Structures are given as C-alpha cells and as structure tokens.
Amino acid sequence: MDISTVTIILAFIAAYFVWFRSITRSLKGPKLWPVLGSLPGLIENKSRLHDWIADNLRACGGTYQTCICAIPFLARKQGLVTVTCDPKNLEHILKVRFDNYPKGPTWQAVFHDLLGQGIFNSDGDTWLFQRKTAALEFTTRTLKQAMARWVSRAIKNRFCPILQTAQLEGKPVDLQDLLLRLTFDNICGLAFGKDPQTLSPGLPENGFATAFDRATEASLQRIILPEVIWKLKKWLRLGMEASLSHSLKHVDEYMTTVINARKLELTHQQNGGSLHDDLLSRFMKKKESYTDKFLQHVALNFILAGRDTSSVALSWFFWLVTLNPKVEEKIIIELCSILKETRGEDTSKWIEDPLVFEEVDRLVYLKAALSETLRLYPSVPQDSKHVIADDVLPDGTFVPAGSNITYSIYSSGRMKFIWGDDCLEFKPERWLSEDGKRFESKDQFQFVAFNAGPRICLGKDLAYLQMKSIAAAVLLRHRLVVAPEHRVEQKMSLTLFMKDGLKVNVQARDLSQILSKIGEDGGTGEAREVINYGIA
C-alpha cells in the first residue's frame, strides 16, 4: 500500500470522526457508537426495551433522536429515528400534521401479504374510505349488543367452567393463554360470524388460529430485518418466510370458505332466513360491490386489532389486581352493590349469568382500574410513522423527510411531567371525578393506549365492554393468586405480551365479607364511596 493510499484512508477516518463528534453533540439520547450508532444499547437492553426508552425520554425531557446506523449518508434520513412521548408532539404527529406522518412504505410492505390494503395497513384515500365505512358500523348499538352476546356466551359456557375446574382440581392455569383464546373466539364471531372454538374443553388447536398466529409472527419478524433481506428470503422461501407462505395459504382457504358460505346465507336471509350481525355481513350488505379479497382483509384487520389487545390488557390487569388488594376490594364492592340492586339479595343469582350490557355500563371504578392498567401497560407499547416532508415538532425538534418517528405509548404513561409524581403508582382514582362518582376521560394525546387523532381506535367502547365483562365474571367468582416462582416479565414484541404467560392459582371468592361492608343501608365510609361509583 503506497503512502498516498494510506493518506487518503487516514483522511477519510479523520473526516468520519469529525462528523461523528458533530452528530453526537447534536443528537441527545442513548450513547452513540461509531458506525453501529445506538445499536449496542438496543441489544444490551433488549429484555427491557420499553423501560430503556422511557429512561432515555426522562433524561431528555420527552423527546430524543438517535442513529441506528451511524453512517453519514444514512444517518440523516433512513438511519435517524426520533422518539417522543410529549403530548404536544403527539398531537402534532397524529392530528395537526396527520398527512405528513403516514404508516409509510416500510410498514406497509412488511404487513401487505397478511393485511393487504386493509384499514390498519393503508394510508390516504384507501384508509379514509375504509375508516368512514367502518365508523358507521361501530357507532351502532346493535354491534355493541352483538359483542355483548358473544362475550356472554363465551364466559358462561367456556371460560368460567375452565376456571371452576382449575379451582376444584387445585391446578394453576395460564390465564394469558385462556384470555387469548377467549378474545380470539369473540373477535372472530364479531368479525365474520364464525366461532373457531379455541376455548373449548381440552383447549384444542384450531388450524385457522394457528395459521393466523404464525402469519402474524412471521410478518413481525420482517420489521427487524432490512427489506432487501426479508424479500430475498421470501423469494427463496427460507426460514419464517416459508412458514408465512404456508400460513397465508391456510388463512386464505379458510376465509374463502367463510365468505362463500356467508354469501349463500345472505341470499337465504333475503328470503326470510335468520339475520347475521357480524362486520363481514354488514360490509357485504352495502350497495358497493367489494371483492372477496377486500372482504377478507377487512375481517383479518379487525381480528388482528381486536384479539391480542384486549387479552393482553386483561392479563396485566389481573396481575396488578393481585398486587393491589385494596383495589380488588373496591372493584368487588362496586360489583356487589350493582348486582344487589339489579338481581336482589340472593348471591347465587349474581353468578348464574354474566352481567348484562346495562350492568356492565355502570361499572365505573372497574373501568378506571382497566384504564389505569392501560396507562402503565398499553397493549401496543409503541408505534412508528414515516416522515413525508421536513418538519419541526412543537418542542423544536427538526425531523427530516424520509426519516422515521416513534412515539412511545408505554413511556407516555410513565412521565412525571404528564401524570405527576405518582405516575408509577397503580391508582384507578386518578380517572374519577373529585366526588368519586364519574369516570373522567383523559386527553387522548396523554393517554394514547387507543391511539389518537383521526386513527383513534374505532373499537374502544367494544374493548371496554369486553374487558369489563370478563373482569367482572372472574372477580365475582374467584380470587387469583400468581403461582409460586412464576415470574411476570414483558415479551419484547409489538404487543406487550407477558413473556411466559400468567400462571395463576384459582381460589373461591367469599362475598360474605364484602356484603358485610355494604350493609343493608348501602355501606358507610370507604365502602359507600366505592358503591357510589357504581350507582351514579
């Protein structure tokens, strides 16, 4: 190697480190390493990723920028990631400059094979059309009533008997797995009117459910790989891409059978047959002519959104309740006070059937406890957007076109400047009015568990209905205790699963002590305050 070549190499290295020093000064956030950027920090903290992000955001005042790859021609755009949890920035991204922050081509490419141009994987006019169509259906009371029927059947005929058997046999159960099966059966019933019965006795494997899970997992794997790599693996049918191809074929065959059957049923319905109230039927009844592929993606998009989110939230809720007996007692007092009024003094009648829609709607303190759970453990802990044009966030952060911006929903619920000094405490009372009688919603850009802005979750009310119904059914009948030596840890994925599930022992619930606190006159002191939540 001659001296001129060495000189050029040294000059290049010197220039790189001058650039690297300048970028480390301009970007506040996790430590940057030459070439690797913040990747070593991500790897080191992969088991506590969301808490690591929250730590960085606390240190940086709610927003930071980092380079995943510290290479000059990449760092400015593709390698630059802006991370924020500042409510003003979230409002700017999710509402004020909504059109400048779409899902983007990377996200859409990753999920296209499974979700197509469905509502959760599309932008622009394609998304807007589906949003308007779906919004008309989600505002109808009949859809809530349909959800209530599906949930009630699953609770009474499957979920409660399984828990009762576990109680009698003294064997622990994986509550997260049971909840995933329960919500999958419910959302499939609501989405396309067919019950996969994954919560049947013996917990059988369902081909469609298994294929859907594998397709989702394989699609998620694409996120951590460069696009050129996963596309090459797809072309060569290697690894998870081969599994994805096989699973998608199974899902497509299953959905084709469902859609064809529904077409025949709708024809029969027009001739006086029984009515269907699922989402798929509602779309098929509209004047517009939708392709079968579009209808399939409508159903699959809603299954993906409605299944994991509610079950994961309930898993964290039940775990938090086991750690906070005073909260558990207040929930039970509220339940008992309402049921005493609606079903009389005989407690056996309280558990004959799940709560009806009107009873569930009055569970104010329970809703507060579920909301507090979602604040601390949001089902979707973070989301990302693509930046179309150069922009400046309200806090002064410049975001260049072509870069990505991540908003940490998990961190939003854990910041003192948003929720106060007690932000890490499980405190349902923060969701109640000063007199303790009404549930008070928070600003949607502070509480982002259901997203915010134009893309705020359409199924928010249905999610609360399902979660409240299931939580009430369990806590009325049973006291849950986390199994000895079982560790509750977060699984690092797009959905905040518990890594090893939630293993619990199921014990009988003794309502006598609660009833004594209520008393014939409705209770006194703290008990009366809690009762007021349910009868306001």
Mean per-residue pLDDT for 194-213?
Answer: 88
Confidence band, pLDDT 50/70/90 cuts, at residue 272: low
CATH code that applies to domain 119-193+276-378+413-535: 1.10.630.10
Q: Please state, for a pLDDT cut of 70, what percent of the chain lies above it.
A: 91
Q: Is the pLDDT of residue 288 over 80?
A: no
Per-residue pLDDT of 380-426, as tens digits, reads 999 999 999 999 999 999 999 988 899 999 999 999 999 999 999 99
d(CA 101, CA 79): 17
- What is the pLDDT, as a whole number, of residue 76? 57
Q: Is the pLDDT of residue 529 over 60?
A: no
Among 74-88, 158-172, 268-282, the minimum mean pLDDT is found in 268-282
Helix-then-strand count for the chain, H and E: 23, 9
Q: Is the pLDDT of residue 279 over 90?
A: no
d(CA 375, CA 409): 8
Residue type, 159: F
**More confident position, 514 or 472:** 472
Query: Using N-to-C axis directions, what is the helix angle for 292-323 and 105-115, rounded to 10°?
Result: 100
Is 85 assigned to a binding site?
no
Q: Is the pLDDT of residue 521 over 60?
A: no
Q: Is the pLDDT of residue 223 over 80?
A: no
Confidence band, pLDDT 50/70/90 cuts, at residue 33: confident
Listed by start position, the domains of the chain span: 23-104+384-412, 119-193+276-378+413-535
- What is the pLDDT, as a whole number, of residue 415? 97
Look over the chain and give the mean of its residue pLDDT values, rounded to a whole number: 86
- What is the pLDDT, as a whole number, of residue 78? 56
- What is the pLDDT, as a whole number, of residue 532? 37
d(CA 311, CA 350): 24
* Burial degree of 416 (CB within 10 A; 0-12, 13-18, 19+): exposed
Beta-ladder partners of 83: 64, 406
CA 39 vs CA 31, 149, 230: distances in Å: 9, 48, 20
Per-residue pLDDT of 333-348, as tens digits, reads 999 999 999 998 888 8
Among 257-266, 286-295, 435-444, 510-519, the minimum mean pLDDT is found in 510-519
Q: Is the pLDDT of residue 16 over 60?
A: yes
d(CA 354, CA 352): 7
Host H or E run for residue 477:
helix 460-477
